[in-house]
Amino acid sequence: MRIARWWHREGERLVCDLCPRRCRLRSGQTGFCALRVATDEGIALPTWGRVSALAVDPIEKKPLYHFYPGSQVLSFGTVGCNLGCRFCQNWHLSRGRAGAEQHSRPLPPPAIANLAVENGCDSVAFTYNDPVIFAEYAIACAHACRARGIQSVAVTAGYIEAAPRRELFAAIDAANIDLKGFSEEFYRRYCLAHLKPVLETLLYAVHQTSVWVEITTLLIPGANSAPEQIRAMATWIRRELGAEIPWHLTAYRPAYRLRQRSTPPNLLAEARRIALDCGLRFVYTGNLPDAGDALNTRCAGCGRVLVERQGFRAKALVPVPGAKDGNGEAPAGAARCSCGRQLPGRFTARR
């Protein structure tokens, strides 16, 4: 157990400064996340150095489609979450509690880096449950991995305060950030949270860091899937983040406390069409048995397929790495189509 980084005392209570919930805890109480616990010494992180889920995945499973396609990533997570999504697809971990030691194993940061190297992974991913709530451990792992030439990925809902956000995003190389809906009502009703902090994280990550960012939205029929909601999200993404941010529209399956029907393929196809019509250039669909061309990455200029995918398997067809920008400089990991159009992302071989 380690004492956490972001908290302060107010009288007899300890206030957690990690996320917008600002939980006020008496000694012995845990926060909403069911992970951070108040002790006499301060707010503690019981799962520091312990993982509850561990696997080697294709990077496409995160999903990240413009970050070293076809590479392998060491994925791990702990337990707990600072959102309360009724539809959580990983609820057995996100609603788990820190005391479930029998379901975790010790893996300090150097061991995470060693495992990534031993398994031929180019990156590690903090996933399964939100890394915001184990940020201190995630940052330590990212530093250990960077020393070994391994990059770090956060799969997160982006519900985090400014100070820890700066430290987390300074340590990682890529992020898939969930934009779960586009109304305060949706976030309050379905996630027990608020929309504004998520938008702030997206703006910060895209405009104030070098982290490669992709966005995922799980489309739930009747909840966040109306055409006007999709259009509003797509318009905001294009205006505030840029037309080249990859957006993953994924199918919902009944889980946890939400049991309504699964997302039909035609709903995802229509949402993708709306997003493309709004000017977004890289819109993908997922969680379907056969998404067809909606999995492929095409050149935004000539339409040529540059990365071809079947399920989580990717075949990169990018012929010329190292595209030049307007200043004659090659952005790190850039690539371009044979027509000359730059493909945004991280594509060149790293090792």
Domain count of the fold of the chain: 2
Across the beta sheet with 342-343, the strand order is 320-321, 335-336, 342-343
Helix axes 162-171, 135-146, angle to 10 degrees: 20
* Percent of the residues in the chain that have a pLDDT greater than 90, as a whole number: 81
Q: Residue 321: pLDDT above 80?
A: no
Look at phi and psi of residue 63 and say left if phi exceeds 0, alpha if psi is from -120 to 50, else beta.
beta
Q: Are residues 113 and 13 in the same domain?
A: no
Among 159, 165, 232, CA closest to 193: 159
Q: Residue 99: pLDDT above 80?
A: no
pLDDT at residue number 57 = 96
Q: Are residues 13 and 123 in the same domain?
A: no
CB atoms within 10 A of CB 10: 8
Q: Are residues 35 and 111 in the same domain?
A: no
Q: Binning pLDDT at 50, 70 and 90, where does residue 114 land?
A: very high
| Within-domain flag for 84 | yes
Q: Are residues 22 and 99 in the same domain?
A: no
Q: Are residues 23 and 82 in the same domain?
A: no
Of all helices (H) and strands (E), which one includes residue 142?
Answer: helix 135-146
Q: List the single range of 9-18, 94-103, 171-180, 303-312 with lowest mean pLDDT.
A: 94-103
Q: Are residues 6 and 65 in the same domain?
A: no
Identify the domain containing residue 260 by its residue range: 50-299
Q: Are residues 18 and 128 in the same domain?
A: no
Q: Binning pLDDT at 50, 70 and 90, where does residue 263 land?
A: very high
Average pLDDT of span 142-166: 98
| Within-domain flag for 318 | no
Q: Are residues 252 and 274 in the same domain?
A: yes
More confident residue, 7 or 333: 7
Q: List the single range of 43-57, 233-247, 281-295, 305-319 with lowest mean pLDDT.
A: 305-319
pLDDT at residue number 319 = 47
d(CA 254, CA 268): 16
Helix axes 196-208, 162-171, angle to 10 degrees: 40
Q: Residue 323: pLDDT above 90?
A: no
Q: Residue 294: pLDDT above 60?
A: yes
What does pLDDT average to over the chain? 91
pLDDT at residue number 1 = 84
Q: Residue 101: pLDDT above 60?
A: no
Q: Binning pLDDT at 50, 70 and 90, where does residue 32 land?
A: very high
Where is the domain boundary, 11, 30, 45? 45
* Percent of the residues in the chain that have a pLDDT greater than 70, as a whole number: 92
pLDDT at residue number 322 = 39
| Within-domain flag for 324 | no
Q: Are residues 149 and 130 in the same domain?
A: yes
Q: Residue 325: pLDDT above 50?
A: no
Q: Residue 95: pLDDT above 90?
A: no
More confident residue, 318 or 276: 276
Q: Are residues 29 and 95 in the same domain?
A: no
| Within-domain flag for 341 | no
Q: Residue 205: pLDDT above 90?
A: yes
Where is the domain boundary, 260, 275, 299? 299
pLDDT at residue number 315 = 86
Q: Are residues 117 and 13 in the same domain?
A: no
pLDDT at residue number 97 = 62
Strands 105-106 and 50-51: antiparallel
pLDDT at residue number 328 = 45
| Within-domain flag for 307 | no
Average pLDDT of span 308-331: 62
* Confidence (pTM): 0.94
Q: Binning pLDDT at 50, 70 and 90, where does residue 336 land?
A: confident
pLDDT at residue number 347 = 81
| Within-domain flag for 331 | no
Q: Are residues 93 and 189 in the same domain?
A: yes
